[in-house]
Amino acid sequence: MGKWPNTYSFTKAVAEHLLISEGRNLPVALFRPTIVTATVSDPVPGWADNLYGPLGILLSSNCGILRVIRGNPRVKADTVPGDLVINGLLCYAWEVATQWF
């Protein structure tokens, strides 16, 4: 993969490169949130539609299923609530649309 650690980040880079190189005359914006977690307030506090990623780890550890996980206590989790991601995306889209048209 070269400088990319996995196929996920590689394909994101390929898609972004394609948008930048071929979309010069289009209102293109790249929005890359970090790990998305449960909501803060909308539609309800703590809402999530799956248990993948950090939510699955949290639930399984709270239920006693996951008792040990390796980690670095000096590293902070880079997460953002889902409703804040959507709000940011809508603001970003509005900004691009009003500048373009």
Catalytic residue among 12, 52, 76, 92: 12
Catalytic residue among 3, 8, 52, 76: 8
For the question of residue 8 being annotated catalytic, the response is: yes
Residue 36, phi then psi, degrees to nearest 5: -90, 130
Active site residues: 8, 12
